[in-house]
Structure 1
Amino acid sequence: MDRGIRNGTMTAVPVGVGQRGRQAVAERRPGGSTAGTQGTGAQRIAELEREVRELKRTNETLKQYLSKALDLDTASPGRRDVRVPDTAVDGAPDTAGPPPRSASGAGVEFRVLGPVEAAVGGRWVDLGAPKQRAALVLLVSQVGQPVSVDTLVDALWDGRPPQSAITSLHAYIANLRRALEPHRAPRTPATVLCTRGRGYLLNSQAVEVDAHRFWESATAGWQALDRGDPQRALYAFETGLALWRGEAYAEMAAAPHVAPEAVRLEELRLSVIEGRCATLIAVGSHEMAVPELVAFTQAHPLREYGCELLSLALYRAGRQADALSVLRAHQKRMVEDLGISPSPALQHLELEILRQAPELERS
């Protein structure tokens, strides 16, 4: 059975229908050399009509199948956005949500703010066995910077590489290159995962990393606050925080060569959360900021700026006693657990709350 697509609808054409149809028409022609008897011609026409009915039923079946499997809206032939099912693509593991959409047009996109994932041309790819994934994670954490073979070998085998380590590493790199550049012609230079001296480099011009987008959003948020534009700052902070799906470089966060970058990103994330809450207070959304800051300070009790923001949000929400309670509980924790006094900013805020300073009501 031949299949084709016409006007956005898949059709099925049984093999030989055209030939039998032409024969039936020839048999009905006056004086046709293959006309045969009238009964034979009627039988051919009836057979053709049955095949047409089968064709219609096949079309309906195919339309129903496409509608279910590809979420195709058959009522809108012009629609082009076909949803990729949330199942493995090209052998890749299931992922939460659709592949990311590149804002810069980069063909290869990495998500590291959570379990490490990669998409090529909008399709998830299989990153291979654990050591192969580990090699890629290390390269992604150093995008734009060459990583030596010695560093990769040391990281993959914890400083105790077998004799076959170099051969295995070369195989991992070759596999990753095939995954990241599936349409690259044989024996042509790689443009994504490149060789640099005795090492490898992920080309920053050819890839996009969600950690870099997060940094850009955080920077835009702080700059907007400096300009006195809290609404734009809030949008930038929330855009950046929405990229997080879990611990940065989740499966490799503790690896010695990746840990510094994972720690840096986590510290930046906490600062952006504080910045977002400060912005909520600045725009008058005290009630929204309070529960988020309560959870934040419980998870990170030693971050004094979070404590300061929570006290200010409580005060502006008309909860002066709660605001003082937060400050004094923090002061007690600092003295008893660490033997230090709270920061001058917190001490000043306590005095301002006690005298109900008008300045506390203004951003």
Structure 2
Amino acid sequence: MDTKDTRDRGIRRGTVTAAPVAVGRRGRRTDADPGAERRAGGTDGAGALRIAELEREIQELQRANETLKQYVSKALDLGTVPTRRRDDPAQPPGGPGGSPMPGPAPGPVPGPAVEFRVLGPVEAAVGGRWVDLGAPKQRAALVLLVSQAGQPVSVDALVETLWEGRPPQSAITSLHAYIANLRRVLEPHRAPRTPATVLCTRGRGYLLNSRAVEVDAHRFWKSATAGWQALDRGDPQRALHAFQAGLDLWRGEAYAEAATTPHVLPEAVRLEELRLSVIESRCATLIAVGNHEMAVPELVAFTQAHPLREYGCELLSLALYRAGRQADALSVLRVHQKRMVEDLGISPSPALRHLETEILRQAPELDGSQRVPGGGSAGED
């Protein structure tokens, strides 16, 4: 069987069944041992010329092999990353200056919608059906891409995350395979050799097209923003609905299986801080509309889990006071004050000291409105 035909069929199947042999200008095979030629030629002029010729042919072989790798990668739809020359300094994933990679913005995405849930264990649905995201490292690659949705993630960052700074020689090949697998999962109806529209190649990295996917973390942010805007408009009931809708999206720790990895940690921390702020905002709104009895148990659990958050302590004290529990309200403030002084060596904020004074004198203002995050206030119904 002809070797070329065999190799071509192997490439179409995704494997290489025969290694190419580069041929020099004189038709000689270049898989000979250069050392043997040197030994045969000695140190005379003919031997030196032969050595130079062999070196040129070896360079041709290297170029031929690089061309083959590019071709195989294209045939397998692996999105080969250009090989960096030694004299080519590394560029950040966003190009010089960190700006987004050039290229056309992804257009409308045909086929099924893709949904990611990251406010807990990471899950994905395509066309309304949950899909298997594959092996742990493949899942980890997707988690990083989702956490940076809309922004390119460099191959270096992916490799560092997947192999924790100790990548094997096969790391790039494995990463390309993971990306190819994820593309098949996320776009099952994409025609062969057509550009990916969900998980796209961008320069020396990959980008999850934020216009092609829906992420529950983004919906949570929209709900939180809608709640704060409703408070600014003086609509506490709509704010409560928006806050609760956002909190209902949470199923556990954000990006649970990868929350501590260096490239995902900042986003996980940001989302957790946002969640705590929304809980405080919801409880403040409950107090403002007169539902302090409902707010008390939620704030008790909240302050036990997060004892150093002063605003949570302030809200719990106010809710207890409005529920007719003045002694408990003062106790909350004094326990918090003692913890701050003994554990951290700092005094409580002026807001807490002012609230303690107002509770002691049973100020009528405490039965009225209470400030809520966002600069607004809401009166009781």
Work out whether the TM-score is over 0.5.
Answer: yes
Structure 1 match to 2:192: 186
Q: Helix, strand or coil: the match of 2:223?
A: helix
- Does the CA-based 8 Å contact 2:199-2:207 persist in structure 1? yes
SS at match of 2:115: strand
Match of 1:294 in 2: 300
The 5 A counterparts of 1:194-343 are 194-343=200-349
Correspondence for 1:177: 183
Question: Retained in 2: the 8 A contact 1:106–1:205?
Answer: no
Structure 1 segments, 4+ long, off by >6 Å, are none
Within a 5 Å distance, the mapping from 1:1-363 to structure 2 comes to 107-363=113-369
Q: Deviations over 1:140-180 (max 9, x none)?
A: 00000000111111111111111111110000000000000
SS in 2 for 1:208: strand
Q: For structure 1, list consecutive stretches of 5 or more residues without a partner in the other structure.
A: 1-104
Q: 1: CA distance between counterparts of 2:150 and 2:112?
A: 14
2:149 and 2:368 map into 1 onto residues whose CA distance is: 43
Which residue is equivalent to 1:31?
none
Instruction: State the distance in 2 between where 1:329 and 1:149 align.
Output: 50
Q: CA deviation at 1:106?
A: 7.6
- Structure 1's 302 and 106: CA in aligned 2 closer, same or farther, altered over 3 A? farther
Q: Once superposed, what is the RMSD of the aligned Cα atoms?
A: 1.0
Say if 2:115 and 2:213, in contact at 8 Å, map to a contact too. yes
- Residue segments in structure 2 that go unaligned for 5+ positions in a row: 1-110, 370-381
Amino acid at match of 2:359: I
| Distance in 2 between residues matched to 1:148 and 1:200, nearest whole Å | 7
CA distance in 2, matches of 1:169, 1:321: 61
The separation in 2 between residues aligned to 1:126 and 1:338, in whole angstroms, is 46
**Counterpart of 1:192 in structure 2: which amino acid?**
V
Displacement after TM superposition at 1:116 (Å): 0.2
Alpha-carbon distance between aligned partners in 2 of 1:171 and 1:192, rounded to the nearest angstrom: 16
What amino acid maps onto 2:340 in structure 1?
A: M
Tell me, yes or no, if the aligned pair for 1:193 and 1:202 is still in contact at 8 Å: yes
Distance in 2, matches of 1:123 and 1:184, equals 17
Larger relative contact order (C-alpha < 8 A, sep ≥ 6)? Answer: 2
Letter in 2 for 1:240: G
CA contact (8 A) 2:321 2:329 kept: yes
Distance (whole Å) between structure 2 residues aligned to residue 225 and residue 342 of structure 1: 27
In structure 2, relative to structure 1, the CA distance for the partners of 1:266 and 1:199 (3 Å cut) is same
Distance 2:163 2:303 in 1: 39
User: 2-side partners of 1:362 and 1:222: how far apart?
Assistant: 20
Over 3 Å counting, the alpha-carbon distance change for 1:185 and 1:206 in structure 2 is same
| Identity in percent | 90
Q: CA deviation at 1:337?
A: 1.0
Where 1:201 maps in the other structure, the secondary structure is strand
- What is the rounded CA distance, in whole Å, between the counterparts of 2:124 and 2:318 in structure 1? 42
Count of residues in correspondence between the two structures: 259
- Indicate the SS of the match to 2:182: helix
Q: Given that residues 112 and 187 in structure 2 are in contact (C-alpha distance below 8 angstroms), is that contact kept between their aligned partners in structure 1?
A: no
TM-score by length of 1: 0.70
Match of 1:47 in 2: none
Q: Could you tell me how far apart the structure 2 residues matched to 1:276 and 1:106 are?
A: 35
Contact 2:114/2:186 (<8 A) preserved = yes
Using the alignment, how far apart are the partners of 2:327 and 2:234 within structure 1? 30
